[in-house]
Amino acid sequence: MPGLLARVPAAEAMAGEDPMPESLSMMRPPRRIRGVIIFVLVIMLSLAIGGVVGYLIHDAMPGQPPRSPDSALRVAFAPVDSSRMIAVAEVTPDSGGTRIDVDCQYSSRSSSTTSHRYLLYVVDKSGDRVESRSWWAAPGTPSSPQLRSRLPMEDIEALEIVLADSDRLLMRAAVS
């Protein structure tokens, strides 16, 4: 410590007003530290600009490309009530209406081994069930019911799968 104090002029040491000598207050961080600080600031600025540009580009892009009127649409059924069934449907415009091909399977982990009768309903834009098709399914056995609807595809709001004996809604898939 005496060596450091010897470097401070006596007038500064005795003044007592400024606890930091002028010689120390004029010091700058070494060039290497300044370079690191500038580098970090440039990286942060680049990330901020990239985030803003990415956000703007994402907002400018449409959510999904428009679907051509004669292309098929694949929809997945979501459970409405507890059910061990999984199902998907391919909805395709057809002459005079729409063709609906459903692939479903009732879980083989069920304790029941009995078959159940199901109904596939086509729901129009007003919310009415306008057509149906029934089929039987047993646990572990895939089923592929088909339905030709007289409704054009753009007039179909949803598809519903119900348990036929109780009309209990099990699954629903939005089409439009």
The identity of residue 66, as a single letter, is P
CB 174 within 8 A of CB 72: no
**Domain 73-174 belongs to what topology?**
Immunoglobulin-like (2.60.40)
Select from 158, 14, 163 the least CA-distant residue to 75.
158
Tell whether pTM > 0.75: no
Length of the chain: 176
User: Domain boundaries in the chain?
Assistant: 2-60, 73-174
How confident is the model over 126-150, as pLDDT tens digits? 999 987 888 888 888 888 999 899 9
Return the pLDDT at 122: 93
pLDDT band at 59 (very low <50, low <70, confident <90, very high): low
Contacts of 2 (CB under 8 A, 6+ apart): none
Contacts of 171 (CB under 8 A, 6+ apart): 77, 78, 79, 80, 83, 85, 87, 160, 161
Tens of pLDDT, residues 3-51: 666 676 666 666 555 566 666 656 666 667 778 888 888 888 888 888 8
Give the angle subtended at the CA of 55 by the CAs of 53 and 60, to the nearest 5°. 95
